[in-house]
Amino acid sequence: MIWRVAAFLAVLFWAVMSGLLVRDIYFPEASRFAIVPPRMVMDLFLQQSETFGCTLHLYHQREKIGHANFQVNRRIKPNHQTVYDLIAHGAVEQMASDDQLRSIVATWSLGCTLADAERWQQLSIKASFPQRDASMHLSWNEKQSSPEVLVKQGERVVMNSQDVKLLMSMGAGQDGALAMLSLMGGGLPKTEAQPDKTDTLKLQAREGMMVLAGRQRKCFVLTLPVMGMYEVKMIFTEAGELARIDLPDDYVLLEPTIHGLQDAAH
């Protein structure tokens, strides 16, 4: 149900920003991935996307089910802080009954601001589900303790920010967030120690050799932990081209050329 998805996203996001769900990211020693500044990777991506654009195809278990477009901008705020605005939008599709045409299941857009390409400052996610006449909007900035949420079906409000706060109040503080995640399918065990909240909001970047498009090549990996047991990995080529985004549950975003090479390799 739409409200269940919205509630899960809101509580999950609150918990991540509260420093509950981040674990150490494990890189095998043999991979010899070296830590690099995320800004270096974002600057390379900025140059590539300005010249060539960036469109990835969404796949689930080798079936194409949508696409996503990405853009990044860099600006300097009045306080002389450098921030990066990451903008993305896309669609999720499904095969129609005649097995020939695809219909739109959902459209979505995302906008976020990263201070020095490392720390989240604000986030906005919008999604619409035309077949269900439903929509969702989630927004957050670093001054808020919890996100603003609005879920509608037609003109009827299914869930808002007050409902999310009520869900959060069902438990006691941090334990309540973990309990709600468990109830809604998170299945998350409690962590023994909480990382610093500032560290929780940071992206991590590494550089090393890995197999991409069927061969070893130098790549950059930006990693964002999600839900403790999951992580989103954005893989860039040495030149800064966004080649792949690994998502939970066997979802993956692939640059079309890379995907064609992978198909040929298999």
pLDDT digits (tens, 9 = 90+) for 118-166: 888 888 999 999 988 999 999 988 888 778 889 999 999 998 888 877 7
Percent helix / strand / coil, the chain, rounded to 5: 25, 45, 30
- Which segments of the chain are extended strands (E)? 34-36, 55-60, 63-76, 82-95, 102-115, 119-129, 134-141, 148-153, 156-160, 204-212, 215-226, 230-237, 242-246, 251-254
Q: How far apart are CA 137 and CA 149, in angstroms?
A: 6
The confidence band for 237, taking pLDDT boundaries of 50, 70 and 90, is very high
First vs last Cα of the chain: how many Å apart?
A: 37
Among positive and negative, which fits the CA dihedral 250, 251, 252, 257?
A: positive
pLDDT digits (tens, 9 = 90+) for 151-163: 999 999 998 888 8
pTM of the predicted protein model = 0.73
